[in-house]
């Protein structure tokens, strides 16, 4: 839904998309991170989380889909999902 509403027709700005990302998607992606630590360490699950974050990063930064995951994080100005999860685990 977020991807559809981020189209140029709706003209959602970068700040709005970043706010939605930080307020809705980060809690969803990091929910129960300490409990699911073993399953999150698997490469398949890491790739799935990175894929989700990369797609929203592309919408936030309004870049081409050929951008890499790491570059999309830099362009969107958001931290890597792995760093966010580690930070959340440390706070618990």
Give me the number of domains the chain comprises: 1
Which whole-number Å values give the CA distances from 43 to 50, 62, 86, in the listed order? 10, 27, 16
Compute how many other C-beta atoms are within 10 angstroms of the C-beta atom of residue 5. Answer: 13
Q: Which residue has the tokens 């129960």?
A: 32
Domain that holds residue 28: 2-91
What pLDDT shows up at residue 81? 82
pLDDT digits (tens, 9 = 90+) for 14-49: 787 888 778 877 887 777 665 566 666 677 778 888
Over residues 57-80, the pLDDT tens digits come to 888 888 888 999 899 999 988 888
Tokens of 5: 């509403």
4: confidence class by pLDDT, cuts 50, 70, 90: low
């Amino acid at each position: 839904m977020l991807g559809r509403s981020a189209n140029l027709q709706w003209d959602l700005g970068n700040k709005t998309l970043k706010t939605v990302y930080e307020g809705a998607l980060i809690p969803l992606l990091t929910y129960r991170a300490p409990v699911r630590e073993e399953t999150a360490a698997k490469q398949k699950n890491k790739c799935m989380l990175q894929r989700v974050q990369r797609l929203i990063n592309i919408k936030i930064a309004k870049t081409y889909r050929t951008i890499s995951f790491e570059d999309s994080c830099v362009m969107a100005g958001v931290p890597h999902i792995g760093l966010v999860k580690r930070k959340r685990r440390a706070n618990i």
